[in-house]
Structure 1
Amino acid sequence: MLWIIGAICALVVSGVAYWKKSLTLSGAIAATVMGTIYFAAGHLFWFGILLVFFVSGSVLSKYKQSHKSELEQSYAKTGRRDAGQVLANGGLGMLLCLANAIWPHSGWAYAYIGIMATVTADTWATELGSLSRKPPRSVLNGRKLLAGTSGGVSLLGTMAAAVGGAMIGGFAWLFEVGSGTPDPSLLKWLLVGLIAGLVGAFTDSILGASLQVMYKCHVCEKDVEVLHHCGQATVKIRGLNVMNNDAVNIWSSILGGCAALVIAILMGL
């Protein structure tokens, strides 16, 4: 029965997201399968945090969308998520949810918080940081970059990442209380989400500035993540072919999950 209920709930949410153009068709299918597993194998804690990430990210992607439309042409992924992006953001959490269903342990939950804090922090940093009036700077050398360049960071984006990560920690505490599970203080949950989110978000920027595959558009002279830009084929300038946007998200999430585990251990959680 849980699988049926989960499938219906996930189908409704992904169907609305597809209708609102927050998901492509492949993204909607992937989100339906993923949501079903989260709901049936987990409980409010797992499914709720996933929903918070997805809803907040979808809302922010629509905020001042006209201002971001030009920047999105340089991204490998846009505000409308496909299956690859859905799996890159929620696939690791889904595996942890299944692992917890088979072998319940608090470590799975803390790693999950770190992963979801990372993808939320990164999404918030991208969506709000792109609205900064000041140009971003390279996370590696501080050099000014064009808006939308991978590896760029800004004060607004960093603040958005911190709030997004802390929000995941806050909702994790709330959902644990709702599930009737003994919980640590709200402050500790907020710190786990905040620190893990920032670790993951900055890892994303560091990988974006170093190992992520990037291309040059010789029409507008921008460094972009896509193979075609301004109607012309782009030329690879750096990075590893296997380190695309989704791969960067996955590795950043792993680091964020590990950071959350370390914080939980140090705090005696």
Structure 2
Amino acid sequence: MMTILAACLAAAGAFAGGLLTGSGLAASLAVGISVSLVGWNGLFLLGFFFGSSYLLERLFRPAEEVEAKGSRRDAAQVAANGGAAAVAGLVYSVFPAAFIMAAFAASLAAATSDTWASAAGKRTAGTAVLIISRKRVKAGVSGAVTAKGSSWAFGGAVLTAAAAYLLFADITALHALIIAAAGFTGQLIDSAVGEKLQLLYTCPVCGEATEKEQHCGKPTFVIKGIRGINNDAVNMIATCSAAFLAGFCVLLFT
């Protein structure tokens, strides 16, 4: 009961601090309550993702964002990063198996890895390259990677896996390695899907690539992507992929 109360208070505090929209608050309550069923250790791992991501985004925030949304997280953004963990937490509360816990931790490792990479990569001087085509683009464009961003991505996945190893008795050192690998792989999947499937627009005024439907006060034009595949959908694909990979590997090989 105390864990549920703590999850609710944390979500309310984030909303009061201007970090969440109204829909984001509702989604955060749902995610937090689901994860709280895992116990305090589940909340601590979730808190590591949100807390570290918030600090890095403030530290590395660029002068102009490429993303369509601002700093306040809505329901779609919360679900994209925490939805897989919430589902795994619910399943683990009734079926406490190690592969479910690995899926839970790996989804958060992927979310952390992607957020850290995005925050650090956008502050890289010069250009980035698309992960598949290797075309040079502005840092922050979907699918673009940089050495700095990839280093932070790896660190985020590893530290999340290490935290899971310290927090959960049923996570072994081998499980932690699988979680780290799955989390980093999820971030790579995020970049690949972002390059090939995510909607990207161009501004008719300045010519910049953007995820926004308006830029420089004018409507933008679609230059690539599939309708409905936005950054939130890409993040959901990444976190679910990482959860599946870790759960499958732990179930099959350990």
Q: Same fold (TM over 0.5)?
A: yes
Q: List per-residue Cα deviations over 1:232-266 (Å, max 9, x = no partner).
A: 11111211112111111111112212222344356
- State the match for 1:20 in structure 2: 17
Q: In 2, Cα distance between the equivalents of 1:163 and 1:86?
A: 22
Q: In 2, Cα distance between the equivalents of 1:22 and 1:189?
A: 33
- State the match for 2:172 in structure 1: 184
3-state DSSP class of the match of 1:145?
strand
- State the match for 2:5 in structure 1: 8
Residues 98 and 171 in structure 2, CA contact (< 8 A), matched pair in contact too: no
Match of 1:221, as an amino acid? G
Q: List per-residue Cα deviations over 1:167-214 (Å, max 9, x = no partner).
A: 1101101111xxxx35423xx354223311221111111111101111
3-state DSSP class of the match of 1:104?
coil
Confirm or deny that 1:244 pairs with 2:230.
yes
Q: In 2, Cα distance between the equivalents of 1:37 and 1:145?
A: 39
Aligned-residue identity in percent? 30
3-state DSSP class of the match of 2:101?
helix
Confirm or deny that 1:58 pairs with 2:44.
no
Single out whichever of 156-165 and 94-103 deviates more from structure 2.
94-103
Confirm or deny that 1:35 pairs with 2:32.
yes
Superposition TM-score, scaled by structure 1 size: 0.88
Q: In 2, Cα distance between the equivalents of 1:260 and 1:110?
A: 6
Q: In 1, Cα distance between the equivalents of 2:154 and 2:202?
A: 31
Which of 98, 109, 116 aligns to 1:106? It is: 98
Residues 218 and 234 in structure 1, CA contact (< 8 A), matched pair in contact too: yes
Residues 44 and 175 in structure 1, CA contact (< 8 A), matched pair in contact too: no
Match of 1:149, as an amino acid? V
Shift of 1:75: 0.5
Q: In 2, Cα distance between the equivalents of 1:154 and 1:58?
A: 21
Gaps of 5+ in 2: none
Shift of 1:44: 2.7
Residues 203 and 252 in structure 1, CA contact (< 8 A), matched pair in contact too: yes
Confirm or deny that 1:46 pairs with 2:42.
yes
Confirm or deny that 1:91 pairs with 2:75.
no
Q: In 2, Cα distance between the equivalents of 1:19 and 1:60?
A: 20
Q: In 2, Cα distance between the equivalents of 1:202 and 1:109?
A: 22
Alignment RMSD (CA, Å): 1.8
CA 1:244/1:217 → structure 2, altered by over 3 Å: closer, same or farther? same
Equivalent residue runs for 1:194-209 within 5 Å:
194-209=180-195
Q: List per-residue Cα deviations over 1:79-107 (Å, max 9, x = no partner).
A: 32111100111111111111122222222
Equivalent residue runs for 1:37-186 within 5 Å:
37-39=34-36, 41-65=37-61, 68-70=62-64, 72=65, 74-176=66-168, 181-185=169-173
CA 1:197/1:77 → structure 2, altered by over 3 Å: closer, same or farther? farther
Match of 1:84, as an amino acid? A
Residues 200 and 255 in structure 1, CA contact (< 8 A), matched pair in contact too: yes
Q: List per-residue Cα deviations over 1:135-174 (Å, max 9, x = no partner).
A: 2111112121112211100000000000000111011011
3-state DSSP class of the match of 1:161?
helix
Gaps of 5+ in 1: none
Superposition TM-score, scaled by structure 2 size: 0.92
- State the match for 2:207 in structure 1: 221
Single out whichever of 153-162 and 19-28 deviates more from structure 2.
19-28
Match of 2:56, as an amino acid? L
